[in-house]
């Protein structure tokens, strides 16, 4: 009984800390997405209260995420150029359809398809999103209103820096200073009071001095948070592209985040990724119908929750309750927050998505991965996210073929299994690339009943980092289940395997 009480207290405490992080982030994500400032808060409430016990994960936190900013912003702008509110309402209709697709995807067990995407493309997608967030938020940070393409925004940055709104710039610079210095303060209160909250509080105090800085604007009546979806263009090309982009990114990020959070779970539990998909679908239908941004399993808030001792979905549920209670009691406080303070928080979030170390990591994985990574980023910046992902996959496939991957083993790896009692020897020939990732996982999963498993890759002519990551993850999972697993990797691939295991 005492253990349950301790778990209950730890989960509530974690939910409170996550609430303090999620409140400013949800606001900032809304504004950066071109949506009403209330949209992120509605999503955070629904993601916590509705999604906590539906989900297939134990300790993930649901809510709006920086990774969806680019897709939501693009959808709003394309669905009603020059009319953000109509664009937002049409985007909400797309979110409802995305929710239906996620439910269907979960029911047909599509969570496994995440492994098909090359590591380089996934990281390229996240880095591109991070760069776009930084590029867009620089103008808000300096208090300059600017609307245009990503290329236009990049060209405009020097002019924005040279001609800022001084009051917004001062608040932004002080906010960045706090965010950079806060992790190095070795005091107990920093474990419970998150840096974004400190930035918001300081920003509110500074805005009483810098009176002309731009501020958040939300309705003080909670009933006004509701925005109805508009389905009048749901079958248009623009809506279909928005649906595909939202569905792909939201589903991919949710499953990847849940997988990453599993590694942080102190109880070493494994999420049900198909349940994660259909549960997110239910919540996203609610978000679309009630005026909220689409939600995913969010890794930053999840890791913060775990660091505070969260053990069950109660942490996710309680953080949603805390946000709801706060908005019912004192929403007017949010109107005191300067936009440049939120921009500073988002710029740091963007940096974490697109950190320079990513470029080095991809370079260490080989030429094919690095070029695919750069292609994904470049095309995303110049065109859009879906084209960027497609470009990354095509480039990776072409380079893999030049490096030795055979068309023969494109979808069906060449292998044989030898049984020796409780021991299984698995030998591969030919090449292994990301297109056959699902089959590779099935082959490895079929060996789960053996106590000793030897995997021989000595005769492989080519294996890409995505396949190596599958062998790393699956061998680790089998070892946790009690099996003794050894992998024989040719010398020419061992360095890349080391980098894959390290990340």
pLDDT greater than 50 at residue 212: yes
- Compute the average pLDDT of residues 275-279: 94
- List, for residues 441-455, the tens digit of each pLDDT value: 889 989 988 999 999
Confidence check: pLDDT of 211 > 50: yes
HSE-CB at 36 with a 13 A cutoff on CA atoms is: 22
pLDDT digits 0-9 by tens, 241-260: 999 999 999 998 898 888 88
Nearest Cα to 320, choosing from 51, 59, 120? 51
Residue 191 CB partners (closer than 8 Å, separation 6+): 307, 308
Residue 219 scores a pLDDT above 70: yes
In the beta sheet, which residues pair with residue 297? 62
Amino acid 22: pLDDT: 94
pLDDT band at 262 (very low <50, low <70, confident <90, very high): confident
pLDDT of 90 over the 80 cut: yes
- The answer to whether 254 and 87 are in contact (CB under 8 A) is no
Map 239-284 to HEC letters.
HHHHHHHHHHHHHHHHHHHHHHHHHHCCCCCCCCHHHHHHHHHHHH
Spatial strand order of the sheet with 484-488 comes to 414-420, 423-432, 452-463, 484-488
User: Alpha-carbon torsion 433, 435, 439, 441, what sign?
Assistant: positive
Cβ contact 194:17 at 8 Å? yes
To the nearest whole percent, how much of the chain has pLDDT over 90?
A: 59
- Region 474-486: what's the mean pLDDT? 88
The answer to whether residue 411 scores a pLDDT higher than 90 is no
Task: Report the alpha-carbon distance of residue 391 to residue 378 in Å, rounded.
Answer: 9
pLDDT score at 1: 34
Arithmetic mean of pLDDT, 302-315: 91
Q: Is the pLDDT of residue 401 over 50?
A: yes
116 vs 107 pLDDT, higher one: 107
pLDDT surpassing 90 at residue 4: no
pLDDT at 3: 40
- Residue 78's contacts (CB-CB under 8 Å, 6 or more residues apart) are 87, 238, 241, 242
Encode pLDDT of 32-81 as tens digits.
999 999 999 999 999 999 999 999 889 999 999 988 999 999 999 999 99
With CA atoms as reference, report the closest residue to 464 among 499, 490, 424, 432. 432
- The whole-chain average pLDDT of the chain stands at 90
Residue 495 vs residue 203, higher pLDDT: 203
Question: Hey, CA dihedral for 352, 353, 359, 362, is it positive or negative?
Answer: positive
Segment among 127-136, 183-192, 228-237, 292-301 with least mean pLDDT: 183-192
pLDDT 10s digits, 152-196: 999 999 999 999 999 999 999 999 999 999 989 988 888 788 899
State the Cα torsion 491-496-501-503 to the nearest 10°. 170
Chain Cα centroid distance, residue 320: 19
> CA 57, 61, 62, 65 torsion: positive or negative?
negative
Looking at residue 503, what is its pLDDT? Answer: 64
The set of residues, in sequence order, having a beta carbon less than 8 Å from that of 292 and lying 6+ positions away, is 39, 40, 42, 43, 45, 46, 64, 95, 286
pLDDT class of 5 with cuts at 50, 70, 90:
low
User: Which domains does the chain show, CATH number per domain?
Assistant: 2-115+137-153+221-339 (no CATH), 407-502 (3.30.750.24)
Q: What share of the chain is helix, strand, coil (3-state, %, to 5)?
A: 70, 10, 25
Question: Percentage of residues in the chain with pLDDT exceeding 70?
Answer: 98
In this predicted structure, the answer to whether residue 331 has a pLDDT above a threshold of 70 is: yes
Q: Tell me what pLDDT residue 435 has.
A: 85
Least confident range from 261-265, 286-290, 309-313, 429-433: namely 261-265
Taking only the tens place, the pLDDT of each residue in 347-367 is 998 998 888 888 999 999 989
Residue 107 has pLDDT above 70, yes or no: yes
Q: What is the mean pLDDT of residues 313-319?
A: 96
């Amino acid at each position: 009984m005492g253990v349950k009480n301790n778990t209950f207290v730890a989960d509530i405490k974690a939910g409170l800390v996550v609430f303090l992080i999620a409140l400013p982030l949800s606001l900032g994500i809304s504004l950066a997405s071109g949506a009403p400032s209330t949209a992120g808060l509605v999503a955070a409430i629904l993601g916590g209260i509705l999604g906590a016990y539906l989900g297939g994960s134990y300790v993930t936190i649901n809510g709006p995420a920086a990774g969806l900013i680019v897709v939501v912003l693009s959808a709003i702008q394309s669905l009603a150029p020059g009319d953000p509110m109509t664009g937002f309402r049409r985007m909400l209709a797309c979110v409802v359809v995305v929710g239906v697709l996620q439910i269907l995807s979960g029911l047909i067990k599509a969570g496994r398809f995440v492994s098909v995407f090359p590591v380089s493309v996934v990281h390229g997608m996240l880095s591109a999103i991070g760069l776009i967030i930084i590029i867009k938020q620089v103008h808000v940070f300096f208090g300059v209103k600017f609307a245009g393409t990503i290329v236009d925004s990049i060209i405009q940055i020097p002019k924005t820096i040279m001609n800022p709104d001084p009051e917004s710039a001062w608040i932004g610079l002080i906010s960045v200073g706090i965010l950079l210095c806060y992790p190095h303060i070795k005091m107990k209160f920093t474990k419970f009071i998150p840096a974004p909250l400190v930035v918001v509080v300081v920003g509110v105090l500074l805005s009483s001095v810098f009176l002309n800085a731009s501020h958040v604007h939300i309705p003080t009546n909670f009933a006004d948070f509701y925005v109805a979806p508009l389905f009048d263009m749901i079958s248009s090309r623009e809506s279909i592209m928005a649906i595909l982009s939202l569905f792909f990114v939201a589903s991919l990020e949710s499953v990847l985040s849940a997988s990453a959070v599993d590694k942080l779970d102190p109880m070493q539990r494994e999420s049900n990724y198909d349940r994660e998909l259909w549960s997110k679908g239910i919540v996203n239908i609610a978000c679309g119908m009630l005026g909220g941004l689409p939600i995913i399993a969010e890794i930053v808030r999840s890791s913060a929750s775990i660091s505070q001792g969260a053990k069950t979905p109660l942490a996710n549920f309680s953080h949603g309750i805390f946000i709801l209670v706060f908005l019912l009691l004192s929403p007017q406080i949010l109107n005191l927050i300067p936009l440049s303070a939120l921009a500073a928080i988002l710029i740091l979030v963007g940096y974490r998505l697109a950190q320079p170390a990513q470029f080095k990591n991809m370079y260490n994985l080989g030429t094919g991965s690095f070029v695919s990574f750069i292609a994904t980023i470049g095309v995303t910046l110049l065109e859009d996210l879906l084209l960027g992902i497609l470009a990354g996959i095509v480039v990776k496939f072409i380079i893999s073929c030049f490096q030795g991957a055979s068309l023969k083993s494109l979808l069906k790896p060449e292998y044989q299994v030898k049984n020796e009692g409780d021991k299984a020897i698995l030998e591969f020939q030919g090449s292994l690339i990301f297109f056959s990732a699902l089959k590779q996982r099935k082959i490895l999963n079929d060996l789960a009943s053996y106590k000793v498993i030897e995997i021989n890759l000595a005769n492989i002519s080519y294996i890409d980092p995505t396949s190596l990551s599958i062998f790393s993850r699956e061998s680790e999972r089998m070892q946790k289940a009690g099996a003794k697993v050894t992998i024989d990797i040719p010398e020419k691939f061992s360095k890349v395997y080391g980098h894959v295991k390290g990340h």
